[in-house]
Structure 1
């Protein structure tokens, strides 16, 4: 550990002396390093109140106003992209939507949704994204042709106010899959200023294979939106970031009972920014800089090495020593 610390101090000293990035300084000591092209993007994550009845037009409009206020706050903070939690406009409650009657759980009656109002709010969000020149990742329900159930989705709206892609939650909870939504079928990536983003939603933080899939797709950051899920969501987000050597944006609901604030974890798993801990609606901004020390260490060395190992670097190197195969061998 001491040798490692001393090496990093040497790299830092050279970076400070030459005004290089940490990545460039690192290559002076390790010429074999393949440094990525320098890129920076300011990402904002938001936390919003969750309203659960899509049949309540005024609640939908209030959610839209809150989302747009936070978009303006993100813009004032210099963000290039803002990421919202599941339910930012509405998170339809299974007991509100049940066709079997209020308070029960059964097949959802989507005729109760005020689709026209929801579309108006999404259109207003897109218009503001164009006005602010702010990429916006906003969850919502995506209506399909009846009798198909809708998707639970993340819309990616460009800084021109256009929907450029949409991610549909794939690994649904039991209730979502049984009564409410049609599952999605594929990962989704999009690029902003040279940085590649992937999207996940709902309870998908519990599936590490989805995060590993995005690592193979060369993303720089995964944006995960949830309305709340079992387990320590914050710790899982940090773990996925560190294991896959990329940034993770965690967007969760606001509220006094929120288990954790929204935040952005770096490629080393450390938090770079967190929203208000009191559960109030807010945004937090961090610059994703692949020339930073943490990113350089993770993306220039950790990620390529792990890929080699996963690809079978040690396959065929097993020794023939009998003591290797004897699992009960004495000390």
Structure 2
């Protein structure tokens, strides 16, 4: 097999980190049993998400959150599984936490953390501290990037990841409208990479979780009470030859502009825009 298997989780998120941690570990075991190398979880999975499960950060027991995270890291090592886990990340009081994705390696190590860069008005004014850097990491020769929810409204983030060589963008979210799916499919097709959407069970009727291929079509999609989808991403897939080996390289070349500047002409019929 030339590709690798990725698991996308669609769990029900609660306000109890103990319950959420147990759910995460259960789905990790299922992902490993399905020979997945990476499992992705939604925004706010471990702690719960503000306005939905969390009204005030003072209600969160951060010691429990840390303990559950450590148990998840230990299981990642046992299962030899990469985990991308949504959670609030506490800062030193009185600073608000980051809205984060923990990147846990198959050695059980926290190798990076993506902090949501573009926050909603409510998030930045009441709940979170913004981050400022993209995050990429490699698993078995495939490069992944991270984005969170409302960032889907900022196209330059997705083109930045294309320039960073990302082949699968992990988009974890707690969506509030159905057009979210349209935007995700557009970014996959425009940037010619996979977009994995991990969303909570609470929003399945609005937007189901799934893996979008580089041509903008679904490679897999969860529905109803489904909690996990395991799909192979494969850059050698014949059906994806055009977006991966033709369109993406050509668009990168075109974006530099040299091929167009070298073909510029000096012609009055070009400069005179009112001529017939």
The TM-score range, normalised by the shorter chain, is over 0.9
Q: Within the alignment, does 1:297 sit opposite 2:266 as a pair?
A: no
Aligned residue in 2 for 1:317: 263
Tell me how many residue pairs correspond in the alignment: 275
**2:178 and 2:270 mapped to 1: Cα distance?**
38
| SS of 1:122 mapped into structure 2 | helix
CA contact (8 A) 2:50 2:127 kept: no
Task: Quote the offset at 1:88 in angstroms.
Answer: 1.7
Q: Within the alignment, does 1:46 sit opposite 2:9 as a pair?
A: yes
Counterpart among 287, 304, 308 of residue 253 in structure 2: 308
| SS of 1:318 mapped into structure 2 | coil
Q: Within the alignment, does 1:282 sit opposite 2:227 as a pair?
A: yes
1:1-48 Cα distance to aligned partner (Å, 9 max, x none): xxxxxxxxxxxxxxxxxxxxxxxxxxxxxxxxxxxxx95211111111
| SS of 2:129 mapped into structure 1 | coil
Aligned residue in 1 for 2:75: 128
Aligned residue in 2 for 1:143: 90
Instruction: Map 1:263-274 to 2 at 5 A.
Output: 263-274=210-221
**2:203 and 2:253 mapped to 1: Cα distance?**
45
Instruction: Map 1:192-207 to 2 at 5 A.
Output: 192-207=139-154
Where structure 1 has 5 or more consecutive residues not aligned to the other structure, the ranges are 1-37, 54-58, 99-108
Task: Quote the offset at 1:287 in angstroms.
Answer: 0.8
**2:54 and 2:179 mapped to 1: Cα distance?**
28
**2:52 and 2:74 mapped to 1: Cα distance?**
33
Task: Quote the offset at 1:216 in angstroms.
Answer: 0.5
| SS of 1:255 mapped into structure 2 | helix
Superposition RMSD in Å = 2.0
**1:151 and 1:256 mapped to 2: Cα distance?**
22
CA contact (8 A) 2:4 2:234 kept: yes
For normalisation by structure 1, the TM-score amounts to 0.78
Based on CA coordinates, which of the two structures has the bigger radius of gyration? 1
Task: Quote the offset at 1:206 in angstroms.
Answer: 1.2
For normalisation by structure 2, the TM-score amounts to 0.92
Q: 1:257 to 1:97 in 2, by over 3 A?
A: closer
| SS of 1:75 mapped into structure 2 | helix
Aligned residue in 2 for 1:84: 41
**1:212 and 1:95 mapped to 2: Cα distance?**
30
Aligned residue in 2 for 1:217: 164
**2:144 and 2:262 mapped to 1: Cα distance?**
36
Task: Quote the offset at 1:256 in angstroms.
Answer: 6.8
**2:256 and 2:126 mapped to 1: Cα distance?**
40
Superposition misfits of 4+ residues, deviation over 6 angstroms:
none
**1:168 and 1:267 mapped to 2: Cα distance?**
25
**1:241 and 1:297 mapped to 2: Cα distance?**
13
Task: Quote the offset at 1:250 in angstroms.
Answer: 0.7
Task: Quote the offset at 1:320 in angstroms.
Answer: 3.9
**1:62 and 1:69 mapped to 2: Cα distance?**
11
**1:170 and 1:256 mapped to 2: Cα distance?**
23
Task: Quote the offset at 1:137 in angstroms.
Answer: 0.4
Aligned residue in 1 for 2:155: 208
**2:253 and 2:114 mapped to 1: Cα distance?**
30
**1:154 and 1:63 mapped to 2: Cα distance?**
15
Q: 1:172 to 1:113 in 2, by over 3 A?
A: same
**2:208 and 2:49 mapped to 1: Cα distance?**
22
